[in-house]
């Protein structure tokens, strides 16, 4: 156990798997697979495994995604880290190929690959392209891809191990806002399921559901609401596809109130799917959605920070729903 960042935790998981499997490859551009943490060795996949297996490509996300897909089809495990600037440039490779090939070949195609798709850190001042948060919706919609979104370094490590070992193509959404989180993460290799939501707090007044980069604000709001006496059951989705309907339904059967929180745009945000699934299974519950408006994020911090869902927004919405 040691204090580790999101990046360190994930690279530790990958390093272990690459040491076990000499065929496994890692493709990156611009973001070197390098991480350090006090008291632990520096991890550098490029120097450890060499440029035959670990490649810094030119700026071409289409190729990066296609490369790992092709490697997978040829029987090698493969992971690519696509930075947020290119996280939709590779859309076709995932939507029309990785997601459909197994079905179209009647089960013949094997794709033991992981697409790490970085999302922006939602930093104020960066405008539309560099502070959006939207691809959770896009990628979760694609059949044939497992789409997960860990919200802390521990889950990131366990879910990366599971993703690499999973025989299906996995989209591993990497919310860059979480890069500053540091926590104790086990040194040994462990797995975390790719189809289970995590119940972060238990309560009977309201269910609050969030995911990924939104979780720090959700947890902050939960604490504030608990201090104000509200019994909050907070759920971290972790996996968007498959979605853990059972955990969601069980919770709302108890609380009868469901608040979803998304950094993604309102229309078709993951919370919309959560509410739909719960509504099909629970009688007499009430619902609310907090989400980013259906607008590209403007650069101006005054506009952007007002629009980006935060703990205050969540607390306000929860009180409206419970009060």
Partner 1 sequence: MGERDKHPSRTAETDRTSSTSRRTFLKGIAGAGAAISLGSKVAWANGEIGFWAKDLTAEQLIHMYTTIQRIRWYERTMVDKMLTEPNYRGYNHFYAGQEAVATGVSAALKNTGGIMEADLVYSTHRPSGHAIAKGVDVRKMAAEYDFRATGLNKGYGGEMHIADKSVGFMGADGMIGPGPVIATGSAFAIRARGSKQVVVNYGGDGTYATPHFHSTLNNATLLKLPFIYVLENNLYHQYAHYSYSTPMKDIATAAKTYGISGVVVDGQDVFQVYNAAKEAVERARAGEGPTLIEAKTYRYYNHWGAPGAKPGELGAFGYDPLAITSFRPEREVRAWMARDPVDISRNALISWKVLDRAKADAIEAAAKKEMIEAFAWADKQPMAKPEDGLKNVFVEGTVPPRQFG
Site string for partner 1, 32-61 (x = CB under 8 A): x-x---------x-x---------xxxxx-
Token look-up 């989400």 returns 291
Give CA angle at 63 (194, 212), nearest 5°: 30
Identity of the residue, 200 or 289, whose beta carbon is nearer to partner 1 in the bound complex: 289
DSSP state of 84: G
Q: Least distance to partner 1 from the beta carbon of 120, Å?
A: 11
Site string for partner 1, 245-284 (x = CB under 8 A): --------------x-----xx------------------
Site for partner 1 in 128-187 (CB under 8 A): 128-130
Identity of the residue, 128 or 143, whose beta carbon is nearer to partner 1 in the bound complex: 128
Q: In angstroms, how far is the first alpha carbon of the chain from the final one?
A: 43
Helix (H/G/I), strand (E/B), else coil: 109? coil
Tell me the site size for partner 1, rule CB under 8 A: 54
Token look-up 């195609």 returns 109
CB atoms within 10 A of CB 57: 14
Residue 166: partners with Cβ closer than 8 Å, 6 or more residues away: 112, 146, 194
Residue among 79, 70, 99, 58 at smallest CA distance from 172: 79
- The pair phi, psi for residue 41, each rounded to 5°, is -65, 145
- State how far the Cα of 26 lies from the Cα of 34, in Å rounded to an integer: 12
Q: Least distance to partner 1 from the beta carbon of 306, Å?
A: 3
- Out of 2, 89, 268, 279, name the contact with partner 1 by CB under 8 A: 89
Identity of the residue, 228 or 303, whose beta carbon is nearer to partner 1 in the bound complex: 303
Identity of the residue, 168 or 264, whose beta carbon is nearer to partner 1 in the bound complex: 264
DSSP state of 214: G
Could you tell me if 303 and 127 are in contact, meaning their C-beta atoms sit under 8 angstroms apart?
A: no
Identity of the residue, 193 or 296, whose beta carbon is nearer to partner 1 in the bound complex: 296
% helix, strand, coil for the chain, step of 5: 40, 25, 35
- State how far the Cα of 257 lies from the Cα of 200, in Å rounded to an integer: 17
Site string for partner 1, 98-137 (x = CB under 8 A): ---------------------------xxxxxx-------
Identity of the residue, 21 or 60, whose beta carbon is nearer to partner 1 in the bound complex: 60
Torsion of CA 49, 53, 59, 63, to 10 degrees: -160
Q: Least distance to partner 1 from the beta carbon of 308, Å?
A: 7
Q: Least distance to partner 1 from the beta carbon of 310, Å?
A: 8
Q: Least distance to partner 1 from the beta carbon of 188, Å?
A: 27
Token look-up 């798709």 returns 117
Site string for partner 1, 218-247 (x = CB under 8 A): ------------------------------
Q: Least distance to partner 1 from the beta carbon of 126, Å?
A: 7
Q: Least distance to partner 1 from the beta carbon of 85, Å?
A: 6
Identity of the residue, 49 or 63, whose beta carbon is nearer to partner 1 in the bound complex: 63
Identity of the residue, 167 or 293, whose beta carbon is nearer to partner 1 in the bound complex: 293
- State how far the Cα of 236 lies from the Cα of 149, in Å rounded to an integer: 9
Site string for partner 1, 281-310 (x = CB under 8 A): -------xxxxxxxxxxxxxxxxxxxxxxx
3-state SS of 20-41 is HCCCCEEEECCCCCEECCCCCC
Helix H or strand E encompassing 117? strand 113-119
Residue numbers at the binding site for partner 1 (CB under 8 A)? 29-30, 32, 34, 44, 46, 56-60, 62-63, 85-86, 89, 125-130, 259, 265-266, 288-310, 313-314, 316-317, 320-321
């Amino acid at each position: 156990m040691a204090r580790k960042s999101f990046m360190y935790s994930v690279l530790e998981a990958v390093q272990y798997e690459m040491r076990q499997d000499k065929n496994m490859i890692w493709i990156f551009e611009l973001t070197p697979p390098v991480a350090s943490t006090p008291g632990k060795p520096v991890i550098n996949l490029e120097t450890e495994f060499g440029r035959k297996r670990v490649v810094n490509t030119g700026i071409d996300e289409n190729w990066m995604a296609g490369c790992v897909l092709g490697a997978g089809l040829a029987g090698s495990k493969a992971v690519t880290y696509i930075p947020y600037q290119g996280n939709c440039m590779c859309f076709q490779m995932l939507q029309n190929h990785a997601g459909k090939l197994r079905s179209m070949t009647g089960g013949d195609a094997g794709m033991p690959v992981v697409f790490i798709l970085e999302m922006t850190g939602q930093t104020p001042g960066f405008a539309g392209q560099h502070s959006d948060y939207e691809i959770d919706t896009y990628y979760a919609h694609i059949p044939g891809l497992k789409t997960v979104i860990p919200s802390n370094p521990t889950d990131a490590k366990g879910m990366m191990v599971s993703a690499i070992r999973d025989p299906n193509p996995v989209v591993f959404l990497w919310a860059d806002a979480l890069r500053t989180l540091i926590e104790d993460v086990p040194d040994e290799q462990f797995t975390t399921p790719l189809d289970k939501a995590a119940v972060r707090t238990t309560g009977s007044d309201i269910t609050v559901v969030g995911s990924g980069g939104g979780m720090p604000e959700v947890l902050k709001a939960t604490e504030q609401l608990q201090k104000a006496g509200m019994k909050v059951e907070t759920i971290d989705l972790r996996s968007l596809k498959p979605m853990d309907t059972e955990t969601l339904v069980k919770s709302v059967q108890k609380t009868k109130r469901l608040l979803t929180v998304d950094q993604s745009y309102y229309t078709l945000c993951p919370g919309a799917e959560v509410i739909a699934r719960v509504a099909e299974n629970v009688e007499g519950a009430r619902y609310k959605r907090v989400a980013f408006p259906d607008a590209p994020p403007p650069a101006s911090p005054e506009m952007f920070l007002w629009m980006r869902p935060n703990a205050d927004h969540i607390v306000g919405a929860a009180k409206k729903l419970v009060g």
